[in-house]
């Protein structure tokens, strides 16, 4: 008999549990090395040294040089600095700039694209098929000589679908178009080596890879020009004004080092747990639809729809049972709008309305997954009766 578990956290694409060594390192900074790293005295230089060590650790995770890493407050700022900073530095005026991205980007990219269009930039979006795979022909066609920059998500935050950034980026690079990659959901999960990828900019966030919230990084390839989007002091090579969040930066460095060291160990285990979860849900609800199943997906993510049921009702019952999941990106929580990503995939509204995102981490256990699987038949039967499905 499966016993109830107090809490099962399956919302790791929203945020992850910081590693113990991350917390320990941050607590040391908070208690003992709290000086401003921009100050000239010896106490401050110790904090500066810790920042530079973290820069090396983050650079090592993605095969970059430390000088190519800019620390930010998180993924959203990294994305804004990459896109807006690049266009401001490299286009004389908005009417001369053309920006291309996809219909399934995170809102941090999508909303920037909307603002760029409102400001006078030429903005275009590339579609995907029903499995979330990018339309290669459309991608090729929309990368015109006038294109100033393209932005491409590596692993989709809702479906987990992975884009081939090497192949897609090569199309742009061969035409002289710089490429920005949103690697917020892939850094620390998938191998990334920017030295062999045709990209100029790449965004990361600490709290997606078992680091703290409030810290992120942007990879800026050598000789890629950026303009700051925050004005103030000369921090981060005059590209990111503001006193460095030293504990957060150090925590991100420790998390990056752990991800590089341990990814090969926990990836097969997490993959097996996700696959067991999918099988168990399909056995309990044969009409369930795994969104993006036929595409390459990041190993920790399963976006599963329950046609005829409402995701909000499923979320409530799962939460009451101590199971934390989501129906989409955390920044859209409370919204009653249908998923923009699933709509872009052309899925039926009944499928979209019943979509739940399960996202696992290295901390999940087989016992937790079995608990969820054991609970699903009763829960789904109850909802089907209530909804008349």
CA nearest to 106, candidates 150, 59, 64, 153: 153
Q: How far is Cα 83 from Cα 150, in angstroms, rounded to an integer?
A: 9
**Residue 331 annotated as catalytic:** yes
CA nearest to 127, candidates 108, 146, 115, 141: 141
**For residue 100, how many other CB atoms are within 10 A of its CB?**
23
Q: How far is Cα 40 from Cα 33, in angstroms, rounded to an integer?
A: 14
CA nearest to 313, candidates 258, 250, 355: 355
Query: Cα 299 to the chain's mean position, in Å?
Result: 13
CA nearest to 168, candidates 186, 203, 196, 143: 143
Q: How far is Cα 11 from Cα 335, in angstroms, rounded to an integer?
A: 17
CB 113 within 8 A of CB 105: yes
List strand residue ranges (DSSP E) for the chain, in order: 8-9, 69-72, 98-102, 122-126, 149-153, 179-182, 201-205, 216-220, 289-291, 301-305, 323-324, 355-359
Torsion sign across C-alpha atoms 234, 239, 240, 244: negative
CA nearest to 252, candidates 212, 202, 193, 203: 212
CA nearest to 18, candidates 182, 191, 215, 155: 215
CB 85 within 8 A of CB 229: yes
End-to-end CA distance of the chain: 29
Give the residue numbers marked as catalytic. Answer: 331
């Amino acid at each position: 008999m499966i016993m109830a578990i107090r809490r099962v956290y399956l919302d790791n694409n929203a945020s992850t549990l910081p590693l113990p060594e991350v917390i320990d390192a941050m607590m040391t900074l908070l208690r003992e090395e709290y000086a401003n790293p921009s100050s000239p005295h010896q106490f401050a230089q110790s904090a500066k040294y810790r920042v530079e060590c973290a820069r090396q650790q983050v650079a090592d995770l993605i095969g970059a040089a430390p000088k190519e890493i800019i620390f930010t407050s998180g993924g959203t700022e990294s994305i804004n600095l990459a896109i807006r900073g690049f266009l401001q530095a490299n286009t004389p005026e908005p009417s001369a700039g053309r920006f291309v991205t996809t219909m399934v980007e995170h809102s941090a990219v999508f909303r920037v694209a909307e603002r760029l269009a409102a400001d006078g930039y030429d903005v275009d979006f590339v579609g995907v098929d029903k499995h979330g795979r990018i339309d290669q022909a459309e991608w090729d066609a929309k990368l015109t000589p006038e294109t100033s920059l393209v932005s491409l998500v590596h692993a989709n935050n809702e479906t987990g679908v992975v884009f081939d950034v090497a192949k897609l980026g090569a199309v742009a690079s061969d035409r002289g178009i710089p490429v920005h990659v949103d690697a917020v959901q892939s850094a620390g999960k998938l191998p990334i080596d920017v030295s062999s990828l045709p990209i100029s900019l790449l965004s990361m966030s600490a709290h997606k890879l078992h680091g703290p919230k409030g810290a992120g990084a942007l990879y800026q390839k050598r000789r890629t020009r950026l303009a700051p989007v925050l004005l103030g002091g000369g921090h981060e090579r005059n590209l990111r004004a503001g006193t460095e969040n030293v504990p957060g930066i150090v925590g991100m460095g420790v998390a990056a080092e752990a991800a590089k060291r341990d990814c090969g160990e926990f990836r097969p285990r997490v993959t097996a747990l996700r696959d067991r979860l999918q099988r168990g849900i399909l056995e309990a609800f044969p009409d369930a639809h795994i969104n993006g199943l036929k595409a390459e997906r990041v190993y920790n993510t399963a976006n599963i729809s329950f046609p005829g049921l409402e995701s909000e009702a499923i979320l409530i019952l799962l939460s009451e049972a101590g199971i934390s999941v989501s129906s989409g990106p955390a920044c859209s929580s409370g919204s009653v709008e249908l998923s923009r990503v699933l709509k872009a995939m052309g899925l039926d509204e009944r499928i979209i309305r019943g979509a739940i995102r399960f996202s696992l981490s290295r901390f999940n256990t087989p016992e937790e997954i079995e608990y969820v699987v054991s609970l699903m038949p009763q829960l789904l039967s109850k909802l089907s009766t209530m909804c008349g499905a």
